[in-house]
Structure 1
Amino acid sequence: MRINTNVAALNTHRQLTAGSNAAAKNMERLSSGLRINRASDDAAGLAISEKMRGQIRGLEVAQKNAQNGVSLLQTAEGALNETHSILQRMRELAVQSANDTNTSSDRVKLQAEIDTLAEEVSRIGSSAEFNGKKLLNGSFDGTFQIGANQDQNMSLKIGDSQSYSLGVAGSVGIEQSSTVTAGTTTKGDTLKAGTYSVSDNGGVYEVKDENGKVVASSTTGLVFTTKAFDGAAGDDTFTFKQSVTSGTLSFDGTTVTAKASFTNSGLEAGTYTYQASDNVLLDAHGEVVARSGDGVKFMGSDGTQVFAATVGLTNGDTLKVGGADISTQAAANTSITAINTAIETVAAERSKMGAVQNRLEFTNNSLSTTAENLTSAESRIRDVDMAKEMMTFTKNNILSQAAQAMLAQANQQPQAVLQLLR
């Protein structure tokens, strides 16, 4: 019999420690609800579970992305619904104006409504936005991330639905400084009363008569020098206060007059003001819509020409862009087709948006189902089976209590040595 080493007590203590540790793990799992609380619980299971969690959380965000995409499309489509209504009204007015029971004054009033409606089409197209992003001015070319992984996305480009792009913006008219004049003398009688045209010939602006003969020229568009009948420089000049680089001139024998005309190649329906100090054209809200170096050719933000003038603008000149022309029977008849085309364009755009919206709604349902199934799979790996774990805890707890009792008995065994010492 040995008293220095109690092997039975050591063995019982080991069993007690193991049982206590096992019971402690059981309690940890029962209290957390997780089978894997640390990597040592199940290293492979933890790695698989974390990958699944990444997928699940990514799918949940993708659902939100799809829902936001639907909201964006609903916003854009709602705005186009109003554009459609306006275009239908414009078509009614064009059909009405095409009837010659209308007088000129009637058509003036019809044109005024068309102009106002065209401005509203432009306003809707320029102001419709979602989260600060413009939707209908042609700038929206976005990508919706509708999956949890790289490249699981879809793209959408929304067309320009403003008046010019739809073909319902009219020509540019000027409300101030509609003509410029220049005094002239005719010592050599090289310039006769009549009508002339101005054209750009490689940076030299030439004035031609009705027969196409060059009778004057200028390198600036301001000071024109006449030519004698033999083609040599004449004695006369006429000077404009504003540059004249194209268009027509009229001469009454004393004064040369240039009437301003414009080519619209991008201006939306609305009112604009020229600010000479910065050579910019401002819209009704004071925002820059075009820039010019000479007050004649104006470029948009993308570098393309939006309109050109035959007479250089002066500070404060106000330009007006109306709607489709219905001022005459012939013009109204032509505008019916133009407005029909605009209606079809908007209908096609709305149809595209509706298709994409339906796709996103189906995508959202698919993402929801996939996330649910992945969550169930991840739960089987990481979550604890409470019933099974409670059963194991009860077993380990009983074993721990039994080991504790047996340790007490094992500690009593060495006392039997005292009987030998009596």
Structure 2
Amino acid sequence: MSITLLNNISALVAENAVSNTQASLQNTLTQLSTGLKINSGADDPAGLSIADGLGANIAALTQSSQNASNGIGLLQTADGALSQVTNVLNQAVTIATEASNGGLTTDQATALNTEFTAILSEINTIGQTTNFNGTSVFNNNNTDSLASAQGSVASPLALTTVLTTGDSVTINDSATGGTFKFTAAAGDTVGDLQTAINNAVTAGTLSAGTTLTIPTAGGAAANQGQVVIATTTTGDSLQITSNDPTLGTFAASTNSADNASFFTSDGTGGGASTTTTSISNLSAAALGLTATGVDLTSATDAKTALTAITAAISTIAAQRGDIGASVNQLTAVGNVENTEVQNLTNAQNNVQNADIASTTSKLTQFNILEQTGFDALSQANSAEQNVLKLLQ
């Protein structure tokens, strides 16, 4: 091997080795300080892509589990309210059965009917005040506008249209708990019915904003020429019955959605799903407890009321069954998502997290190599001094 002066190859080799060791040492210290073996795309491009994808899945599934939990909370709130309604309806069964029996005085029948009216009022209150996270559970499911079966653009009804003498229109209002009944006298018109409704609003029997209108051509496209009875009271629900062939039956012309929907996803289009539960409007009117003849003022009416109350209990039981099935479904969804989060987190851990034991061993190794590298570099520089001895 020739002896040279201008280039110290040994020193260059040692210097390069020390530089590489310091880079490895810095990477090891970064892994120990962050706990991650992938701290930049340069560390492991493929591994970074996998870890970030798993992280997105975990975030979506974690929130979806919370969505399911919130959904369960809402449904359990509804179920609890319906349970209380069942309790008061059972009380109504008792007093209706008592009122159906003969031998009661007028005062006793009146007292029983007053108690029955209070029960109906309590049902309305439960329906109107039950909420979850500031949102009404039942009264978003309202029927706030109903239109007559008769009348059209070609043959429109009008305020001057004469109603059938002796026939009636009955409106049950869930917001007030009131029942309005209009029986047509000879010569009464739709305009007279409109006036009676306005008077009932003033008296508080019907909620503020309850109106009768007849949409005309050039106005709203829907229900032109028909009698429309509607309310603008938020959460209100109307139930209208009519035996007048001039008007025909009344059907809902607008009905807000009665579905509670809960979204879950793993962050991909294929992994998204929506669990939907139908929650019906809750009011005495919606349960059919405010129709004509459903009261306890006489033994005959009490028997009619008893049949209606029993049917209402069955309706509530069916609703609770649907809600319970949805609670079980959301519980299962939440359990599956929690298991997925656990498994995906473990997979992400294997890809991204540093093996602390192995990394600590490397730290010791690189510390030693750094020290020996500096010693080797020092010796390589010292070796060049030997050239001077040849000049002595």
TM over 0.5: yes
What SS does structure 1 have at the residue aligned with 2:160? coil
For residue 81 of structure 1, report the CA deviation from its aligned partner: 1.3
Pick aligned residue for 2:359 from 357, 379, 389: 389
1:210-229 → structure 2 map (5 Å cutoff): 220=160
- Measure the CA separation in 2 of the matches of 1:361 and 1:283: 48
In the other structure, the counterpart of 1:103 is: 105
Q: In 2 relative to 1, CA 12–71 (structure 1 residues): closer, same or farther, beyond 3 Å? A: same
Q: In 2 relative to 1, CA 203–389 (structure 1 residues): closer, same or farther, beyond 3 Å? A: closer
Pick aligned residue for 2:310 from 325, 337, 340: 340
Q: Deviations over 1:143-199 (max 9, x none)?
A: xxxxxxxxxxxxxxxxx9xxxxxxxxxxxxxxxxxxxxxxxxxxxxxxxxxxxxxxx
Pick aligned residue for 1:292 from 200, 212, 224: 212
For residue 328 of structure 1, report the CA deviation from its aligned partner: 1.9
What SS does structure 2 have at the residue aligned with 1:39? coil
- Measure the CA separation in 1 of the matches of 2:371 and 2:125: 82
Alpha-carbon contact 2:99-2:299 (below 8 Å) kept? yes
Q: What amino acid maps onto 1:114 in structure 2?
A: F
Q: In 2 relative to 1, CA 47–23 (structure 1 residues): closer, same or farther, beyond 3 Å? A: same
Q: Deviations over 1:368-419 (max 9, x none)?
A: 2211111111001100001111111211221121111000010012211111
- Measure the CA separation in 1 of the matches of 2:57 and 2:194: 56
- Measure the CA separation in 1 of the matches of 2:333 and 2:315: 27
- Measure the CA separation in 1 of the matches of 2:61 and 2:377: 55
- Measure the CA separation in 2 of the matches of 1:245 and 1:275: 12
Q: In 2 relative to 1, CA 287–19 (structure 1 residues): closer, same or farther, beyond 3 Å? A: farther
1:200-349 → structure 2 map (5 Å cutoff): 220=160, 245-248=163-166, 263-268=169-174, 270-271=177-178, 281=201, 288=208, 290-293=210-213, 298-300=229-231, 306=240, 323=290, 324-349=294-319
Q: Deviations over 1:205-263 (max 9, x none)?
A: 9xxxxxxxxxxxxx837xxxxxxxxxxxxxxxxxxxxxx84544xxxxxxxxxxxx852
Q: In 2 relative to 1, CA 284–385 (structure 1 residues): closer, same or farther, beyond 3 Å? A: farther
- Measure the CA separation in 2 of the matches of 1:385 and 1:127: 56
Structure 2: unaligned runs, 5 residues or longer: 144-150, 181-192, 215-226, 245-284
Q: What amino acid maps onto 2:87 in structure 1?
A: S
Q: Deviations over 1:11-33 (max 9, x none)?
A: 11001101111111111111111
What SS does structure 2 have at the residue aligned with 1:270? coil
- Measure the CA separation in 2 of the matches of 1:363 and 1:114: 42
In the other structure, the counterpart of 2:91 is: 89
Q: In 2 relative to 1, CA 35–287 (structure 1 residues): closer, same or farther, beyond 3 Å? A: farther
Normalised TM-score (structure 1): 0.64
What SS does structure 1 have at the residue aligned with 2:312? helix
Q: What amino acid maps onto 1:299 in structure 2?
A: A
- Measure the CA separation in 1 of the matches of 2:201 and 2:43: 71
For residue 131 of structure 1, report the CA deviation from its aligned partner: 1.7
In the other structure, the counterpart of 2:117 is: 115
Q: What amino acid maps onto 2:378 in structure 1?
A: A
For residue 127 of structure 1, report the CA deviation from its aligned partner: 2.0
- Measure the CA separation in 2 of the matches of 1:388 and 1:52: 24
Q: In 2 relative to 1, CA 262–118 (structure 1 residues): closer, same or farther, beyond 3 Å? A: farther
For residue 138 of structure 1, report the CA deviation from its aligned partner: 5.9
In the other structure, the counterpart of 1:26 is: 28
Q: In 2 relative to 1, CA 351–49 (structure 1 residues): closer, same or farther, beyond 3 Å? A: same
Q: Deviations over 1:112-165 (max 9, x none)?
A: 21112112111211221112322123629xxxxxxxxxxxxxxxxxxx9xxxxx
- Measure the CA separation in 2 of the matches of 1:287 and 1:103: 34
Q: What amino acid maps onto 1:417 in structure 2?
A: V
- Measure the CA separation in 1 of the matches of 2:237 and 2:98: 39
Q: In 2 relative to 1, CA 376–284 (structure 1 residues): closer, same or farther, beyond 3 Å? A: farther
Q: In 2 relative to 1, CA 303–116 (structure 1 residues): closer, same or farther, beyond 3 Å? A: closer
- Measure the CA separation in 2 of the matches of 1:75 and 1:47: 42
- Measure the CA separation in 1 of the matches of 2:67 and 2:378: 65
What SS does structure 1 have at the residue aligned with 2:229? strand
- Measure the CA separation in 2 of the matches of 1:122 and 1:246: 33
What SS does structure 2 have at the residue aligned with 1:288? coil
In the other structure, the counterpart of 1:80 is: 82
For residue 303 of structure 1, report the CA deviation from its aligned partner: 11
Which gives a bigger RCO, structure 1 or 2 (Cα 8 Å, sep 6+)?
Answer: 2
- Measure the CA separation in 2 of the matches of 1:335 and 1:134: 29
Higher helix share: 2
Alpha-carbon contact 1:76-1:135 (below 8 Å) kept? yes
Q: CA RMSD in A?
A: 3.5
For residue 297 of structure 1, report the CA deviation from its aligned partner: 6.4
Q: Which has the larger radius of gyration?
A: 1
- Measure the CA separation in 1 of the matches of 2:299 and 2:6: 124
For residue 266 of structure 1, report the CA deviation from its aligned partner: 4.6
Q: In 2 relative to 1, CA 366–69 (structure 1 residues): closer, same or farther, beyond 3 Å? A: same
How many positions carry a matched residue from both structures?
A: 304
Alpha-carbon contact 1:73-1:353 (below 8 Å) kept? yes
Q: What amino acid maps onto 1:404 in structure 2?
A: F
Q: In 2 relative to 1, CA 358–376 (structure 1 residues): closer, same or farther, beyond 3 Å? A: same
Structure 1: unaligned runs, 5 residues or longer: 141-159, 161-199, 206-218, 222-243, 249-260, 311-320
In the other structure, the counterpart of 2:333 is: 363
Q: Deviations over 1:286-315 (max 9, x none)?
A: 963522238x963245998746799xxxxx
Normalised TM-score (structure 2): 0.68
